[in-house]
Structure 1
C-alpha cells in the first residue's frame, strides 16, 4: 500500500493557487532538515509530532541528531525513524547532516545553529517561535505535551508557507510568535499541576481535529474517562491528514474510535462507533454516560447541531475551514446560549450529505440510510460503470464513511476543503487549552470564539471575541424544554 498524499497536496494547491501536479513536483524536490536541543524539556515529543507532520507531505526529510552531550538519544532517534516509516516507508527519515543545497532548516530549541530558518520551543502549555536574527527570551516553564504539539504544528505551518510556495499576500512571516492556548492573551509559560482528570467528558468526532485532541491528551499524560463518538473507519487518505494512525491501521480498516482508544494509553475510553444522534439515543436509554463537557471535532453544521442536543454544560468545538482550509477556530457553547446553533446557522438551501452521496454514486437513498452496513457486491447491481468503479473500491466499508472519500477524489464541487495535520492540531490545541482553562478556573469569562488563519499566525489582540445568544435561536425559545431535558438526564446519570 502506497501513501496517498492527495489531501496535503490539494490543501497546498488551494493555498498557493497552483496546479496539484506542479505542487507535488515542488514538494518532492524540497529537503527539510531538522535539528534540536536534546536537553530541552519536551524536545523529544515536539520532534515526534513535527517529523510526523512533515512526513505527511511528499518531501525529503532529514535529521541531524547532534554530537556530544546535546546529542539526541538513540531511543528517540529510533522512534522518529519508526514514526516516519509508519506514514510512508518509501520516504524514510534520513539521519545525518544535511545533504543538498539550501535546505529548509527547522530547529526545536532556543539555541538554533547557524543556517536555521526558524526555531521553536514549547514554554509550558504554549509556544515561542523565532525566525533567524530574533533571539529567544528565557523560557518560563518546562514544555508540556500541549506546548509540544502546538510548537510542532506552528513550525510545520512555517514550513508549509515555503514548501507550498505561497504567493505574496496569501501568507505572512511573523518573526516572533509567543502564544498560549490556555490564556491566549498572556505570555507562554503557564503549567497546570496536576492536570484535571477527564470526568464526564465526550469527544465528538474522530477525524482530523479529534485525532489531534487525542494526540494532545496523550502527550499531556491525561487520565480519567472519555467517551469517543464517531461513525467512520480509518482509511488510506486519513494517514496524511490525521494526527495518529499508520498505513497498517488504514489497511486494517480500524474504526476511528478504536484507533483513538488504542492511542490514549492512560485514559479509560468508551468507544461508540455510530452517529451523534445514535449516541444521544444511547444516553437517554442509559447505555452511554451523559457527559458534562464535550470536546468537538466535527466537520458539518448538521453534526454540530446534533451535538448541541446532548445539552451538556459546555461544548468546546474546534473547527478548520476558511477559503483554503487553513483557518482554525474554537467555539465555546452553552445550553443557555450561545449554543452551536448560534455559531453555525442551518443551511436550508444546500443538499444533504445523503443526497450528494446518492447523486455521486447512484446508491438508493434507502440504502444510504443504512449507513452502518458494509457495502457488498450486491450494492453494485444497477449502477453504471463509472459508479461501479467508484463504489467498488469501498466494498466492505460502511456507507457512512463514503461521502468524504468520494469528495477527496475531486468528484464534487461542493466546497470540500481538506485539512492538514498541522492545521487540525492547532484547532485541537485551542480546544484542549480551553478545557484546561475552564476546568481549572484559570478562565471563567463569557463564551468565546477564537479564530485565526494559520498562514498568518495567531494574533491574540485580534482573534478573540465574546458571543451572546442569538435572539430567536432554539436555545432561547426552548429554554424551558432544554432545562427539563438536562434535569432528566442529570437524574438518570
Structure 2
C-alpha cells in the first residue's frame, strides 16, 4: 500500500493557488534538511513531531545528527527513521548531509548555524521561532510536550510556506515569534503549571484535531481517565493528515478510538465507537460517565451541536477552516452560554451529509445509515454505470467518512477543506492550552474565542475576543430544562 498524499497536496494547492499536480511536483523538488541541539530540553519530542509532519508531504527529507556535545542520541535517530517509515516507507528519512543543492534548513534549538532559515525551541508550554539573523533570548523554562508540539507544528508551517510556494500576499514572514497557548498574551515559559489529572473528561472526535490532542496529552505525560468518542475508522488518506497512525494501522482499518487509546499510554481510555448522539444516550442510561469537561475536535456544525447537548461544565472546541483550511480556532463554551450553538449557527437550508452522499453515489439512504459496514460488490447493484464506477473504488471501506473523501471532492468543495497535521496540531494546542489554563485557574472570567491563520501566525494582541450568549439560543430559552438535565446526569455518577 502506497502513501496517499492527496489531502496534504490538496490543501497546499488551495493555499498556493495551483492545481494539485503542480503542487506535488513542487513539493517533490523541495528538499528539507533538519538539524538540532541534542541538549535542548524536549528536543526528542519536538523532532519526532516535526519529522512526522514533514514526512506527511512528498518532500525529500534529511537529518544531520550533529556532533558532540550536542549530537542526537542514536536511539532517537532510529526512532525518527522508524517514524518516517511508518508514514511512507518509500521515502525514507535520509541521515547525514542532504543530497543535491541547498535545501530549506530548519533547526530545533537556540543556536542555529548561519545557513539555517528558521529555528525553533519549546519554552515551557509555548514556542519561540527565529528566522535567520534574529537571536534567541534565554529560555524561561524547560520545554514541555505542549511546547514541543507547538514548536514542531509552527516550524512545519514555516516550511509549508516555502515548499508549497505560497504567492506574495497569501502568507506572512514573521522573523520573531513568541507564543504560548496557555497564556496567549504572555511570554512563553511564564506558564509552567503542570497539567492536572484527567477526571470526567471526554474527547469528542478522533480525527485530525482529536489525534493532535491525544498526541499532546501523551507527550505531556498526563494521567487519569478519558472517554473518546468517534464512529469512524482510520483509513489510508488519514495517514498524511492526522497526528498519529501508520500505513499498517490504516490497512487494518483500526477504529479511530482504538488508535487514540493505543497512543495514550498513561491514561485509562474508554473508547466509544459511535456518534456523539450515541454517547449522549449512553450517558443517560448510565453506561458512559457524564463528562464535566469536553475537548472537541469535530468537523461539522451538527456534530458540534450534539457535543453541546452533553451539557458539560466546560466545552473547549477546536477547529480548522478558513478559505484554504489553514485557519485554527478555539471556542470556549458553557451550558449557560455562550454555547457551541451560539458560536455555530445551524444551516437548516443545506442538505445533510447523508443526502449529499446519496446524490453523489446513488447509494440508498438506508445503506448509508449502516455507516460502519464496508462496501461490497452487492452495493453496486442498482447503480448506473457512472455511479458504479465511482463507488467501486471504495469497496472494502466503510460508508462513514466517504463524504470527506478527496475522491468525492468535485461535489464537496463548498463543505470540505482538507487539513494538514501542522494546522490541526496548532488547533489542538489551543484546546489543550485552554484546558490547562482553565483547570488550574490560570485564566478565569469570560469565555474566549481565539482564532488565527497559520499562514500568518498568531497575533496575541488581536486574535482573542469574548462572546456573550445569543438571546434566542436554546442555552438561554431552555436554561431551566438544561439545568434539570445536568442535575439528572450528576446523580448518575
- For the Cα contact (< 8 Å) 1:361–1:391, is it kept in 2? yes
Q: Structure 2 length normalisation: TM-score?
A: 0.98
Q: CA deviation at 1:194?
A: 4.1
CA deviation map 1:376-408 (0-9, x unaligned): 332221012332233233334332222212565
CA deviation map 1:43-96 (0-9, x unaligned): 111000000000000000000000121110100000000000000111100000
- For the Cα contact (< 8 Å) 2:7–2:406, is it kept in 1? no
Task: Give the match for residue 333 of structure 1.
Answer: 333
Task: Give the match for residue 477 of structure 2.
Answer: 477
- For the Cα contact (< 8 Å) 2:198–2:224, is it kept in 1? yes
Task: Give the match for residue 447 of structure 1.
Answer: 447
- For the Cα contact (< 8 Å) 1:231–1:401, is it kept in 2? no
- For the Cα contact (< 8 Å) 2:57–2:240, is it kept in 1? yes
Moved more, 185-194 or 222-231: 185-194
In 1, distance between residues paired with 2:187 and 2:408?
39
CA deviation map 1:197-252 (0-9, x unaligned): 01000000000000000000000011000000001000100000000001001000
Match status 1:124 vs 2:124: yes
In 1, distance between residues paired with 2:385 and 2:9?
28
Moved more, 237-246 or 97-106: 97-106
Q: Secondary structure at the match of 1:375?
A: coil
Task: Give the match for residue 249 of structure 1.
Answer: 249
Task: Give the match for residue 259 of structure 2.
Answer: 259
In 2, distance between residues paired with 1:228 and 1:455?
30
In 2, distance between residues paired with 1:188 and 1:15?
29
Q: Structure 2 matches for 1:360-439, cutoff 5 A?
A: 360-405=360-405, 409-439=409-439
In 2, distance between residues paired with 1:483 and 1:84?
49
After superposition, the Cα gap between the structure-2 partners of 1:199 and 1:407, relative to the gap in structure 1 and judged at 3 Å, is farther
Q: Secondary structure at the match of 1:70?
A: coil
The unaligned stretches of length 5 or more in structure 1 are: none
CA deviation map 1:336-356 (0-9, x unaligned): 000000000001221110100
In 2, distance between residues paired with 1:38 and 1:462?
36
- For the Cα contact (< 8 Å) 1:144–1:191, is it kept in 2? no
Task: Give the match for residue 290 of structure 2.
Answer: 290
Q: Secondary structure at the match of 2:237?
A: helix
In 2, distance between residues paired with 1:390 and 1:79?
39
After superposition, the Cα gap between the structure-2 partners of 1:99 and 1:375, relative to the gap in structure 1 and judged at 3 Å, is closer
- For the Cα contact (< 8 Å) 1:408–1:418, is it kept in 2? no
Task: Give the match for residue 207 of structure 1.
Answer: 207
Q: CA deviation at 1:193?
A: 4.8
Task: Give the match for residue 307 of structure 1.
Answer: 307
After superposition, the Cα gap between the structure-2 partners of 1:362 and 1:408, relative to the gap in structure 1 and judged at 3 Å, is closer
In 1, distance between residues paired with 2:73 and 2:369?
52
Q: Structure 1 length normalisation: TM-score?
A: 0.98
- For the Cα contact (< 8 Å) 2:218–2:263, is it kept in 1? yes
Q: Secondary structure at the match of 2:62?
A: strand
In 2, distance between residues paired with 1:438 and 1:392?
48
In 2, distance between residues paired with 1:208 and 1:445?
29
Task: Give the match for residue 166 of structure 1.
Answer: 166
- For the Cα contact (< 8 Å) 1:31–1:61, is it kept in 2? yes
After superposition, the Cα gap between the structure-2 partners of 1:19 and 1:401, relative to the gap in structure 1 and judged at 3 Å, is closer
- For the Cα contact (< 8 Å) 2:202–2:293, is it kept in 1? yes
Q: Secondary structure at the match of 1:450?
A: strand
Q: Structure 2 matches for 1:183-222, cutoff 5 A?
A: 183-222=183-222
Q: CA deviation at 1:274?
A: 0.5
In 2, distance between residues paired with 1:449 and 1:139?
28
After superposition, the Cα gap between the structure-2 partners of 1:466 and 1:110, relative to the gap in structure 1 and judged at 3 Å, is same
In 2, distance between residues paired with 1:133 and 1:477?
57
In 2, distance between residues paired with 1:422 and 1:194?
24
Task: Give the match for residue 136 of structure 2.
Answer: 136
Q: CA deviation at 1:192?
A: 4.0
- For the Cα contact (< 8 Å) 2:193–2:440, is it kept in 1? no
Task: Give the match for residue 353 of structure 1.
Answer: 353
- For the Cα contact (< 8 Å) 2:374–2:397, is it kept in 1? yes
In 1, distance between residues paired with 2:243 and 2:4?
15
Q: Find runs of 4+ consecutive structure 1 residues off by over 6 angstroms.
A: none
CA deviation map 1:84-118 (0-9, x unaligned): 00001111000001232221000000000120000
- For the Cα contact (< 8 Å) 1:131–1:175, is it kept in 2? yes
In 2, distance between residues paired with 1:459 and 1:82?
36
- For the Cα contact (< 8 Å) 2:141–2:192, is it kept in 1? no
In 2, distance between residues paired with 1:261 and 1:410?
34
- For the Cα contact (< 8 Å) 2:178–2:188, is it kept in 1? yes
In 2, distance between residues paired with 1:20 and 1:12?
8
- For the Cα contact (< 8 Å) 2:232–2:401, is it kept in 1? yes
Q: How many residues align?
A: 493
In 2, distance between residues paired with 1:357 and 1:52?
32
Q: Structure 2 matches for 1:25-64, cutoff 5 A?
A: 25-64=25-64
In 2, distance between residues paired with 1:242 and 1:132?
30
Task: Give the match for residue 228 of structure 1.
Answer: 228
- For the Cα contact (< 8 Å) 1:7–1:408, is it kept in 2? no
